[in-house]
Amino acid sequence: MIIVWGSVDAAPEDMDALKKVSLEHVHRSRKEPGCISHSVQADLEDPNRLIFFEEWEDMAALQTHFQVAESSTFIEEVSRLAASPPAIRIFESEQVG
């Protein structure tokens, strides 16, 4: 399984727009082949930060996700709304129980 963790910070005046595009992206991505889970949460310690958590069946599914036109549009919109460069980490994992 592939796990993706990401975060993005926005200026307060851009947070509503960032939440909107993020939720649209999450809801669309959940329907893609190989997507196990895809979510976005508000950071309780930083009201201007959103956290993304995703689980994918394998790297091929994630790479396909990255190639979807709407994913590219999402990255462009996030980059425009972000107060600093977004962070992303990708992990390969096995369930232990």
User: What pLDDT band is residue 44 in, cutting at 50, 70 and 90?
Assistant: very high
pLDDT tens, position by position, 52-90: 999 999 999 999 999 999 999 999 999 999 999 999 999
| Domain ranges for the chain | 2-92
Q: Please determine, for residue 27, whether its predicted confidence score (pLDDT) is greater than 90.
A: yes
CB atoms within 10 A of CB 5: 13
CA 43, 81, 85, 56 torsion-angle sign: positive
| Torsion angle (degrees, nearest 10) of CA 66, 68, 69, 72 | -10
- What pLDDT digit, counting tens, does each position of 1-12 carry? 999 999 999 999
Show the tokens assigned to 15: 């947070």
Per-residue confidence at 97, pLDDT binned at 50, 70, 90? confident
What's the CA gap between 23 and 54, in Å, rounded? 13
Options 3.30.70.100, 3.30.1600.10, 1.20.120.530, 3.30.365.10; CATH for 2-92 is: 3.30.70.100
Q: Which pLDDT value is given to residue 87?
A: 96
